[in-house]
Structure 1
Amino acid sequence: MQELVDECDLVVYSGGVNLDSRYIMTSDISRPGLEMTGYFDYYPAERIQLLGMTEISYSHKMKKNERARIMDKMCGKNTPCFLVSRFLPVPIELEEAGKRHNIPILRSKLSTTRLSSRLTDFLQAKLSERRSVHGVLMDIYGLGVLITGDSGVGKSETALELIKRGHRLIADDRVEIYQQDERTLVGEAPEILNHLLEIRGVGIIDVMNLFGAGSVRQNTNISVIVNLENWSADKQYDRLGSGEQDYELFGVSLPKINIPVKVGRNMAIIIESAAMNFRAKSMGYDATQKFEDNLNRLIKKNSINK
């Protein structure tokens, strides 16, 4: 609860000693408008109870005894806290009920809509199911690129070269991934590995200390996966850019590009180019399609000349 207060710039109005004993189990927020009228059949008591201008102004019109009864009834055993937006005045009956049931009351200067959105984003990031993936996550030209591959294929060394080229590291070795919404996956580093990079033969290096604060980032949306694999003479590799695959995680499909690793290939430049090419495709420009169009025009032209 204290982390919620700090991250969302909330002010503890009362019950600060109870912050560590109350737990938030869901990212959903409740606006107890119906409950203020006395309807408690489907009251989600386990949610943060957010009171805005509508709830507070309605409470002023209630009789004192009724207001006290409603406020007390809203204090469920699993209710994490009450939160009042816009620094609106807290009804004395709510303050007294909160003290009786050891429920903190918080306040914010933000409007109810903005506060609700901020709370939801924060809670979804903290409470969402997480999955740890072996790889390196980089921010390349604003795109979250997850670099995967077998151990020893050169992921961290490639990341180091990308950092030297001005791109930013999010996570090395282990990437913690969670779902932000139906179409978005977010990746970040485990706390113990934050800003650290492991290079075989060198050891652990602190990227932010060596390259500056601009070389790292806390988290990013994952846009594309680049999988590095050792070059095999027996395998046919995509040469036209039409062999893009999909990788599914938490029900979200991410494009996956397989890149063979071979001595003499500059993997950092190749991955950088792959990221730029992916962005171009996302903006509607497909170099493969352009090549096919040029080829078709050439075939048509030669046919006419014959």
Structure 2
Amino acid sequence: MKTITVQRLAEVFKLEVLTGAGYMDREITRPRTHRPGLEFVGYFDFFPMKRVQILGRKEITYLLTRTVEERKLHIGNIVKYHPPCFIVTSGQQEIPFLTLFCEQEGIPLLRTSETTTDFIAKLDGYLVKALAPEVSIHGVCINVSGIGILLRGKSGIGKSETAHTLIRRGHRFVADDIVVLKRLGPATLLGSHNETTREFLALRSVGLINVVRQYGRRAFQDETRIVLDIELTPWKGDSLNNELEVVPQFIDYLGVQIPHIEIQLQPGRDVAGLIEAAANNWYLKQLGYSAAEEFMKRIEDEMRS
């Protein structure tokens, strides 16, 4: 299971540490935050205790309206579950009672000046990516006209060279050699680099090039949603079909089904052009258009006429 520490969270979002500096190594394992509400009135049946707890103006104002004894009861009931940390938003100051409880239980209490809604949106997005299940595979990741493609094949088959051609045609490079795949949801797969290889593309007979230095910032992006898996394979004679529409195939990565196609290599084939065609064809299918269906309809119309 992937985890991040409260210390890392504080560094990324520049959070002020109010108390619990000695417990910043506490681990966060859940990808979303929680605003305690029903817990303040004693309902804990579905309390997500392992999530980061956010206290906005609504929560703090409610606590300030309670008597000292009621306040102790409400806060005490929550801190005894030992969530990873509490974060107070909107730079709120009237929270010494909360600081005391967190000190006693060894729970970090942090503060941000950002509003509750904006901060939760940013933090949830960050946690989903940081804690997402991931796997590293050998291949190339590139964004073709806004469509994320995972390009695979045996070493030396020409993946990087094909990616270089696509970059020169105006498409965006994401990763070479090692592609990190993250599962953000049941149907969402994110492709990225592993930081070490960021911006680098290895070309046989040429060597390592920095894509941003050679082709500019627009030629690179850190990540892309993968929607198409393309495998480059050696030419196999008569094995390629010539049907009007290829039977859909899929490949599974971390439980996410991705459309898969195979492109066989032969001298003279415009592989980069075929990848562009595959990307555009995938996009048109998402809009409900099928060239094969339109072609058959034309034939039927001609026969009827």
TM-score above 0.5: yes
Secondary structure of the residue that 1:21 maps to in structure 2? Answer: coil
**Structure 1 residues 96 and 210: CA distance shift in structure 2, 3 A:** same
1:145 aligns with 149
User: Residue 260 of structure 1 aligns to which amino acid in structure 2?
Assistant: Q
**Structure 1 residues 87 and 193: CA distance shift in structure 2, 3 A:** same
Please give the alpha-carbon distance, in whole angstroms, between the structure 2 residues aligned to 1:159 and 1:93: 58
User: Residue 227 of structure 1 aligns to which amino acid in structure 2?
Assistant: E
| Range with bigger deviation, 68-77 or 244-253 | 68-77
Which residues of 2 match residues 1-306 of structure 1 at below 5 A?
1-7=6-12, 9-15=13-19, 17-18=21-22, 20-40=24-44, 43-76=47-80, 78-301=82-305
Secondary structure of the residue that 2:84 maps to in structure 1? Answer: coil
Identical aligned pairs, as a percentage?
33
User: Residue 9 of structure 2 aligns to which amino acid in structure 1?
Assistant: L
Where does structure 2 lack aligned partners over 5 or more consecutive residues?
1-5
**Structure 1 residues 103 and 90: CA distance shift in structure 2, 3 A:** farther
Alignment: residue pair count? 300
**Structure 1 residues 110 and 235: CA distance shift in structure 2, 3 A:** same
**Structure 1 residues 59 and 300: CA distance shift in structure 2, 3 A:** same
Please give the alpha-carbon distance, in whole angstroms, between the structure 1 residues aligned to 2:242 and 2:17: 61
Q: Is the 8 A contact 1:242 1:288 kept in 2?
A: no
Please give the alpha-carbon distance, in whole angstroms, between the structure 2 residues aligned to 1:34 and 1:10: 29
Please give the alpha-carbon distance, in whole angstroms, between the structure 2 residues aligned to 1:185 and 1:171: 15
Please give the alpha-carbon distance, in whole angstroms, between the structure 2 residues aligned to 1:78 and 1:173: 42
Secondary structure of the residue that 1:192 maps to in structure 2? Answer: coil
Q: Is the 8 A contact 2:142 2:172 kept in 1?
A: yes
Per-residue deviation at 1:185?
Answer: 0.8
Where does structure 1 lack aligned partners over 5 or more consecutive residues?
302-306
Q: Is the 8 A contact 1:143 1:223 kept in 2?
A: yes
Please give the alpha-carbon distance, in whole angstroms, between the structure 1 residues aligned to 2:266 and 2:82: 57
Please give the alpha-carbon distance, in whole angstroms, between the structure 1 residues aligned to 2:183 and 2:57: 32
Please give the alpha-carbon distance, in whole angstroms, between the structure 2 residues aligned to 1:48 and 1:216: 33
Please give the alpha-carbon distance, in whole angstroms, between the structure 1 residues aligned to 2:20 and 2:171: 42
User: Residue 187 of structure 2 aligns to which amino acid in structure 1?
Assistant: R
Secondary structure of the residue that 1:132 maps to in structure 2? Answer: strand
Superposition CA RMSD, Å:
2.3
| Range with bigger deviation, 38-47 or 209-218 | 38-47
**Structure 1 residues 19 and 190: CA distance shift in structure 2, 3 A:** farther
**Structure 1 residues 79 and 88: CA distance shift in structure 2, 3 A:** same
- The CA deviation string for residues 203-225 of structure 1, in whole angstroms up to 9 with x for no partner, is 22221222221111111111111
| Range with bigger deviation, 40-49 or 256-265 | 40-49
| Range with bigger deviation, 84-93 or 185-194 | 84-93
**Structure 1 residues 226 and 42: CA distance shift in structure 2, 3 A:** closer
| Range with bigger deviation, 270-279 or 69-78 | 69-78
Please give the alpha-carbon distance, in whole angstroms, between the structure 2 residues aligned to 1:189 and 1:132: 9
**Structure 1 residues 283 and 123: CA distance shift in structure 2, 3 A:** same
Secondary structure of the residue that 1:237 maps to in structure 2? Answer: coil
Q: Is the 8 A contact 1:138 1:170 kept in 2?
A: yes
Q: Is the 8 A contact 1:45 1:76 kept in 2?
A: no
| Range with bigger deviation, 285-294 or 150-159 | 285-294
User: Residue 171 of structure 2 aligns to which amino acid in structure 1?
Assistant: H
